[in-house]
Amino acid sequence: MKRFISLLGYFSLLVCLSYANNTSAQPHVESGLDMDSVEISLLTCRPRQNVYSLYGHTAIRVQDRQNQLDIAVNYGMFSFEKPFFILRFVFGLTDYSMDIEDFEAFRIYYATRGAGVRQQTLNLTKDEKKAIIDAIIKNYEPQNRVYRYNYFYDNCTTRARDILLDNINGTIRYRTRNKNSESYREMIHAYNEHQRWARFGNDLLLGIKADFPTSHEQQQFLPDNLRKDFDNAVIIDKDGGKRPLVSDSTWVVLPGIQPEWSGFPLSPTSCAIIFFVVVTAFSIYERCRMKMLWGIDVLLMSLTGACGIILFAMVFSQHPTVSLNLQILLLNPCSLIFLYPTVRCLRRNVIHVWLKAWAVLIVLFLLGGFFQHYAEGMIIVASSLLIRYILKFDQIVRTRQ
């Protein structure tokens, strides 16, 4: 019953707003919807511990006090139950949708999860409010609700920003927060500092383009960056007049205590160090005993080759920041292609050409670290593999002498 009442309220609001939009006579517009009773606000939700909410969330609040209606416009609706959701997300083929929900339900959702919600009431004229509401109505039409999600370039925050700023009659000028040198990777690192494996996964897939400097507008993909910009923005009207973009800022949900992150106990660096010790120890043992533990090479080439297939697949992703990734020099899919001939050569104490090529690629990978930020521990992994194959080359040469 409560859900029915909420939906009835949304329907009433849309009918009311549509009536105001389609009526040409000003007295009728005013009787349909009094813009003096309407407030439009930006809602910024603080980050939570879930991987998909580490960076926060943005929505729009529309209040009509005269009609006692209060809604949240949400551009972050998705479903894990859709077929191949994770695979589609990785390849940039995820569709998100815009939805309208009761603000009280929206508020309770975040309050029960300990995430604060900051509201910034916008300093808008009647015409601007009407233009924004008209845009929301058009965007809510079934054929317009769904959009192709892209985390850095087209997400729930940039959608909310665009529908607000595109309908303001003036120029927006930001007075502070000059961080033009920050990259996408640096910005998300500030949020996943305590989720080391989530950061590792991001850094493994993100390529060199994620380390390029970003513009002020590009940095607004993060909800809190947009919130800070709105707090320090002014609208330059066409007649040269100035007014602050935000008239009031307050917490509609106070930040609560969130549960501490309880992930895998070992960090990526710890695992990389263990990997280094084990691989180097076996390599030294081989070198001293003049034995050929080719099974270790089967395991190493299989693991790195499998990871390389994932990185190679990213070349075809619609995410621009994953297409050029220097980590593919180390995690190379060719290791799977040359696995059998390489192992066959090792069993005969012969160095296959792929091992020589891979050693060169690993050196190039290490040099590439000056240009791209690699996933945590990958330099250690590369060093252990390089040491192994230098020792193995030396071992084979000595055996054949």
pLDDT tens readout for residues 150-190: 889 999 999 999 999 999 999 999 986 555 679 999 999 99
Q: Among 200-204, 275-279, 351-355, 394-398, which stretch is predicted with the lowest mean pLDDT?
A: 394-398
Cα 130-11-94 angle, rounded to 5 deg: 85
Asked if 102 and 6 count as a contact pair (C-beta separation under 8 A), the reply is yes
Query: What is the average per-residue pLDDT within 18-37?
Result: 48
pLDDT tens readout for residues 320-331: 899 899 999 999
Query: What is the average per-residue pLDDT within 137-162?
Result: 93
Asked if 156 and 74 count as a contact pair (C-beta separation under 8 A), the reply is yes
Query: What is the average per-residue pLDDT within 250-267?
Result: 80
**pLDDT > 90 in the chain, percent:** 66
As a whole number of angstroms, the distance between CA 196 and CA 210 comes to 18
pLDDT of 258: 65
SS3 of the chain: CHHHHHHHHHHHHHHHHHHHHHCCCHHHHHHHCCHHHEEEEEEEECCCCCHHHCCCEEEEEEEECCCCEEEEEEEEECCCCCCCHHHHHHCCCCEEEEEEEEHHHHHHHHHCCCCCEEEEEECCCHHHHHHHHHHHHHHCCCCCCEEECECCCECHHHHHHHHHHCCCCEEEEECCCCCCCCEHHHHHHCCCCCCHHHHHHHHHHCCHHHHCECCCCHHHHCHHHHHHHHHCEEEEECCCCEEECEEEEEEEECCCCCCCCCCCCCCHHHHHHHHHHHHHHHHHHHHHHCCCCHHHHHHHHHHHHHHHHHHHHHHHCCCHHHCCCHHHHCCCCHHHHCHHHHHHHHHCCCCCHHHHHHHHHHHHHHHHCCCCCCCCCHHHHHHHHHHHHHHHHHHHHHHHC
Q: Among 29-38, 298-307, 381-390, which stretch is predicted with the lowest mean pLDDT?
A: 29-38
Over the chain, what is the mean pLDDT?
A: 87
